[in-house]
């Protein structure tokens, strides 16, 4: 399995929204999905092209502890963590993982979409689907969806 993007999230509404954003932004061959940290770690114990992008949705402390116990597997990769809003106790241990970005789970993941568009712009289509509706969102010259207000030109 040689993807460029690895996503780990348990089933639920946040995972469904994250999958919609990822599927609307990258091709199916670029993304590999996992539902448990153990499955993700098992994959990373084998060959993983570097640097891969890894997005992990952390719902609770147990899931975080499982990730921390295998943190050495992710040190050479671009890690994006998604944390539940209001769980400040999860933030400090997450910083030990040295993530590139931390996003709130209660958002619309448009910030994650902007990161994916920028990272995969060479292989992404010229049009990115907006996960909130079925119309395509035009992409600006910088590779960001024009409907995304948090995307910075430059």
Residue 45: which CATH number? 3.40.50.2300
Handedness of CA 68, 117, 16, 41 (dihedral sign): negative
Structural domain contains residue 148: no
Distance in angstroms (rounded) separating the CA atoms of residues 141 and 45: 38
Residue 39: predicted pLDDT: 92
The token duo for 152 is: 């910075």
Structural domain contains residue 141: no
Structural domain contains residue 153: no
Residue 87: predicted pLDDT: 78
Residue 18: predicted pLDDT: 92
* Domain range enclosing 96: 5-126
Structural domain contains residue 93: yes
Structural domain contains residue 137: no
What is the pTM assigned to this prediction?
0.74
Structural domain contains residue 147: no
Structural domain contains residue 144: no
Distance in angstroms (rounded) separating the CA atoms of residues 143 and 137: 11
**Structural domain tally of the chain?**
1
The pLDDT profile of the chain, 154 residues, written as one tens digit per residue, is 446 889 998 877 788 899 999 999 988 888 999 999 999 999 998 888 778 999 999 888 888 888 999 989 988 899 999 988 877 778 888 888 999 999 998 888 999 999 999 888 754 444 455 556 555 454 444 444 444 444 443 3
Distances (CA, A) of 73 to 10, 32, 58, 96, 149: 20, 17, 17, 13, 34
- CB contact at 8 A, 127 and 138: yes
Nearest to 105 by CA among 17, 3, 24, 1: 17
Residue 142: predicted pLDDT: 43
Residue 34: predicted pLDDT: 92
Residue 139: predicted pLDDT: 45
Which 8-state DSSP code applies to residue 29? G
Residue 79: predicted pLDDT: 93
- CB contact at 8 A, 114 and 86: no
Structural domain contains residue 132: no
């Amino acid at each position: 399995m040689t993807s460029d993007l690895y996503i780990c999230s348990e089933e639920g509404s946040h995972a469904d929204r994250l999958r919609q954003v990822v599927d609307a932004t990258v091709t199916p061959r670029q993304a590999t999905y996992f539902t448990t940290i153990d499955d993700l770690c098992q994959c990373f114990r084998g060959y993983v092209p570097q640097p891969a992008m890894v997005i992990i949705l952390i719902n609770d402390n147990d899931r975080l502890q499982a990730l921390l116990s295998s943190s050495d597997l992710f040190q050479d990769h671009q890690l994006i963590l998604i944390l539940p809003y209001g769980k400040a106790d999860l933030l400090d241990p997450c910083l030990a993982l040295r993530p590139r970005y931390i996003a709130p789970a209660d958002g619309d993941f448009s910030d994650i979409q902007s990161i994916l568009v920028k990272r995969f712009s060479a292989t992404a289509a010229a049009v990115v689907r907006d996960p909130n509706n079925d119309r395509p969102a035009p992409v600006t010259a910088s590779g960001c969806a024009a409907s995304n207000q948090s995307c910075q030109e430059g």
